C-alpha cells in the first residue's frame, strides 16, 4: 500500500471544507484490471445505505429519513454546513474527526469490546452527554428501509504478491458484481477512489457515497509472529470514513469519524499505531500508540493462550474483524495490506518438515 497521506490528507481537508471538485479532479479513470484473490479465512459483507431522498438540496431534511431514521449516527450531505444545521449535528455523535477545533480525539469513539451480538457500540464524549449507538442495525444481516445487504460469495478483493502478502492499494477501485458475487478490481492511478456499487470511471462526486463493509480474517499467530518468509506479521489500513478494527472482539484500532485515517498492527511485537486527520489527535497530531496487550487488558479480556510480551502467544488462532463506513458524501478511499498467516499455517510447517519450526528462520 502506498504512503499517500499527503494526497489523502489534502482531499480530506477539502472535503471537510465542503469544496466540490469539478472538471478533471472529479473525473475518475476507468483503469486497468488487476488479478485478485480471496485469501483463506477471508470474508466480506457489503451494505448499501440510503438516506431516503438522497438529495443534498435541503440536507437537513435527510437527517431522519432512510438509514438515518431514529439513529444517532448520521449519514449526511454537506460537511461544510453540518447538514444544514450545526446545532442538530452537535446533538449527535457525528462531530469527532470532522473539524480540527473539536476536542474529541479519534481514539475512543467506540466501546472496547463488541457487544453480545458481535457489533460495535459507539459512544459520545462526556462534554455532550453519554450518547451511545449500537451499530448492529448497520452491520447485521437484516434488510430494512435504507439498507441492503450483500454477503460476498467470492471476496476476491486482494492481490497476492506470491509470498503471502495481500493488498488492496488505495489508488485502486473495485466494483462489486451482484450477479457473480465477486469484485472487479482496477488500478485507477492517482484518482483511485473506492465506490464498490458503481462502475469504474466517470465523475466520482456523483457516485453512491453511502455504504459500509464488514471484513473478517481468521489467522494463526506463528512463532515469534514471523511468517514463513521470516517477515513480521502485520495488518495495515488507510482510508475513510469510520473504521473500527477488532481482534477476538476487542477493539485494537479506532478510526471513528469523518476523515482519512491510518492504522498499523504489528503482530510480531504487538505495537499498534493509529492516526486520524485532525489536529487534536493525541500526541500533538502524530497519532496514537498502544499495544495489543494494553488494549486487551483495558478491555478486561485475556486471549486464548495468553500473551507473549505485548503480542499474542505463539501458535494460537485469532479472528480480525474490521467495520468500515463511508457516510460523508464526498471522496472515498480504501487501502488494505496484510500478511496474516492462515489457520492452515501449522500444516504448512509440517509440509516443510518443520514440526512447528519456521524452516525459513535461522535457528
How many residues would you count in the chain?
Answer: 363
Above 50 in pLDDT, residue 92? no
Residue 286 φ/ψ region, left for φ over 0, alpha for ψ in the -120 to 50 degree band, beta for the rest: alpha
CA distances (Å), 356 to each of 218, 222, 360, in order? 19, 9, 12
- Given its phi and psi angles, is residue 257 left (phi above 0), alpha (psi -120 to 50 degrees) or beta? left
Which carries the bigger pLDDT value, residue 354 or residue 45?
45
Q: How many CB atoms lie within 10 A of CB 220?
A: 22
The pTM assigned to this predicted structure is 0.86
Give Cα 157 to chain centroid, integer Å: 14
What pLDDT score was predicted for residue 162? 83
Most confident of 103-117, 125-139, 142-156: 142-156
Nearest to 349 by CA among 314, 322, 318, 320: 314
CB 44 within 8 A of CB 146: no
Mean pLDDT on 31-35: 82
- Beta-strand ranges (E) seen in 32-118 are 32-33, 42-49
Under the banding of pLDDT at 50, 70 and 90, the label for residue 133 is confident
Specify the range with the lowest mean pLDDT, choosing from 18-22, 223-227, 292-296, 340-344.
18-22
- In this predicted structure, what is the pLDDT of residue 353? 53
**Cα dihedral 224, 226, 228, 230 sign:** negative
pLDDT at 128: 52
How remote is the C-alpha of 209 from its chain's centroid? Answer: 15
- pLDDT number for residue 181: 96
Go through 47-80 and write b for each residue having 16 or more CB atoms within 10 A of its CB, e for each that does not: bbbbbbeeebeebbbbbeebbbeebebbbbbbbe
* Cα 222 from Cα 206, distance rounded (Å): 45
Residues 92 and 95: their CA atoms lie apart, in Å, by 8
Using the 8-state DSSP alphabet, how is residue 282 labeled? T
Q: How far is CA 59 from CA 65, 74, 259, in A?
A: 11, 11, 19
The larger pLDDT score, comparing residue 186 to residue 7, is at 186
Q: Which of 19-28, 233-242, 243-252 has the lowest mean pLDDT?
A: 19-28
9 pLDDT band (50/70/90 cuts)? Answer: very low
Phi, psi at 137, each rounded to 5°: -65, -25
Percent of the chain at pLDDT > 70 equals: 71
CB atoms within 10 A of CB 298: 12
- Cα dihedral across residues 227, 230, 233, 238: positive or negative: negative
Query: Which pLDDT score is estimated for 80?
Result: 46
> Is residue 2 over pLDDT 80?
no
Cell of 274: 493509529
Residue 104 pLDDT greater than 60, yes or no: no
pLDDT in tens, 64-84: 889 988 887 888 775 544 444
Query: What pLDDT, on a 0 to 100 scale, did the predictor assign at position 86?
Result: 53
Q: What's the burial of 161, exposed, middle or buried (CB within 10 Å: 0-12/13-18/19+)?
A: exposed
289-344 pLDDT, tens digit each: 999 999 999 999 999 999 999 999 999 999 999 999 998 777 889 999 999 999 88
Least confident segment among 85-94, 142-151, 287-296: 85-94
Q: What is the pLDDT of residue 103?
A: 45
Euclidean distance between the first and the last CA atom of the chain, given in angstroms as a whole number: 31
Does residue 355 surpass a pLDDT of 80?
no
Task: Give the integer Cα–Cα distance in Å for 352 and 314.
Answer: 18
Tens digit of each residue's pLDDT (9 = 90 or more) over 317-329? 999 999 999 987 7
Amino acid at each position: 500500500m502506498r504512503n499517500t497521506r499527503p494526497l489523502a490528507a489534502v482531499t480530506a481537508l477539502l472535503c471537510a471544507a465542503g469544496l466540490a471538485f469539478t472538471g478533471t479532479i472529479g473525473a475518475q479513470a476507468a483503469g486497468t484490471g488487476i488479478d485478485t484473490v480471496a485469501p483463506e479465512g477471508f470474508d466480506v459483507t457489503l451494505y448499501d445505505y440510503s438516506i431516503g431522498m438522497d438529495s443534498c438540496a435541503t440536507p437537513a431534511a435527510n437527517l431522519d429519513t432512510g438509514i438515518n431514521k431514529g439513529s444517532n449516527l448520521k449519514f449526511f450531505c454537506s460537511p461544510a454546513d453540518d447538514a444544514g444545521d450545526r446545532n442538530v449535528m452537535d446533538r449527535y455523535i457525528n462531530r469527532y474527526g470532522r473539524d480540527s477545533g473539536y476536542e474529541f480525539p479519534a481514539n475512543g469513539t467506540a466501546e472496547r469490546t463488541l457487544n453480545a451480538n458481535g457489533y460495535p457500540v459507539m459512544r459520545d464524549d462526556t462534554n455532550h452527554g453519554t450518547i451511545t449507538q449500537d451499530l448492529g442495525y448497520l452491520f447485521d444481516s437484516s434488510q430494512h428501509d435504507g439498507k441492503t445487504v450483500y454477503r460476498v460469495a467470492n471476496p476476491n478483493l486482494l492481490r497476492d504478491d506470491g509470498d503471502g502478502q495481500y493488498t488492496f492499494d488505495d489508488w485502486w477501485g473495485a466494483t462489486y458484481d451482484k450477479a457473480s458475487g465477486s469484485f472487479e478490481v482496477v488500478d485507477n492511478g492517482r484518482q483511485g477512489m473506492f465506490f464498490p456499487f458503481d462502475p469504474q470511471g466517470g465523475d466520482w462526486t456523483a457516485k453512491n457515497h453511502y455504504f459500509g463493509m464488514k471484513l473478517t480474517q481468521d489467522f494463526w499467530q506463528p512463532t515469534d509472529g514471523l511468517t514463513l518468509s521470516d517477515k513480521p506479521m502485520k495488518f495495515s489500513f488507510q482510508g475513510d470514513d469510520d473504521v473500527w478494527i477488532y481482534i477476538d472482539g476487542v477493539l485494537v484500532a479506532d478510526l471513528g469519524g469523518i476523515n482519512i485515517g491510518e492504522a498499523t498492527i504489528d503482530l510480531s511485537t504487538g505495537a499498534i499505531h493509529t492516526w486520524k486527520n485532525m489536529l487534536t489527535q493525541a500526541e500533538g497530531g502524530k497519532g496514537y500508540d498502544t499495544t495489543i496487550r494494553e488494549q486487551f487488558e483495558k478491555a478486561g479480556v485475556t486471549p486464548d493462550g495468553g500473551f507473549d510480551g505485548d503480542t499474542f502467544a505463539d501458535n494460537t488462532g485469532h479472528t480480525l474483524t474490521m467495520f468500515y463506513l463511508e457516510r460523508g458524501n464526498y471522496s472515498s478511499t480504501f487501502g488494505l495490506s496484510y500478511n496474516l498467516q492462515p489457520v492452515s499455517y501449522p500444516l504448512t510447517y509440517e509440509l516443510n518438515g518443520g514440526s512447528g519450526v519456521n524452516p525459513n528462520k535461522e535457528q
